[in-house]
């Protein structure tokens, strides 16, 4: 996914520039934060497409951010293998921490 690649490249580039230019550190860290958010949203969208389009599941309710992660961690026989279970668990933990903490992009 080219969009995810661009987000990763921007994060790495701006992280280095934040370290090298202390006077502009806040601007570069804001870019890092926004690009990480975009990267996570891209992964979330890809998982949502798998769950809705491939599995035929419906998403909604309070857990819609973590539900795709739970569902792709399960194998669907004759349809698709499970997503890497340890990676899914790590993403769920991260998503739950961020969503549960009330952190927003404005606070970061």
- Residue 99 scores a pLDDT above 50: no
User: Residue 19: how many CB atoms within 10 A of its CB?
Assistant: 11
- Residue 100 scores a pLDDT above 50: no
Answer whether residue 93 is part of any domain: yes
Lowest mean pLDDT among 8-17, 77-86, 97-106: 97-106
User: Residue 43: how many CB atoms within 10 A of its CB?
Assistant: 17
Answer whether residue 40 is part of any domain: yes
Answer whether residue 86 is part of any domain: yes
Answer whether residue 70 is part of any domain: yes
Vertex 97 angle, CA 36 and 74, to 5°: 85
Q: Which residues contact 31 (CB under 8 A, 6 or more apart)?
A: 10, 14
The two three-digit tokens of residue 96, written as one number: 């739950």
Answer whether residue 108 is part of any domain: no
Top mean-pLDDT range of 24-33, 59-68, 83-92? 24-33
Lowest mean pLDDT among 15-24, 73-82, 85-94: 85-94
Answer whether residue 107 is part of any domain: no
Structural domain count of the chain: 1
The values of phi and psi at residue 64, to 5°, are -65, -25
Answer whether residue 106 is part of any domain: no
Domain that holds residue 16: 2-101
Answer whether residue 19 is part of any domain: yes
What global pTM score does this model have? Answer: 0.65
């Amino acid at each position: 996914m080219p969009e995810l690649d661009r987000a990763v490249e921007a994060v790495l580039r701006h992280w280095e520039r934040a370290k090298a230019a202390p006077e502009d550190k806040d601007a570069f860290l804001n870019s890092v934060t926004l690009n990480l958010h975009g990267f996570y949203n891209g992964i979330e969208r890809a998982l949502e497409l798998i769950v809705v389009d491939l599995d035929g599941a419906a998403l909604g309710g309070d857990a819609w951010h973590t539900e795709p992660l739970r569902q792709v961690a399960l194998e669907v026989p004759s349809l698709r293998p499970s997503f890497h279970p340890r990676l899914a668990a790590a993403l769920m933990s991260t998503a739950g921490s961020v969503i549960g903490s009330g952190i927003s992009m404005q606070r970061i």
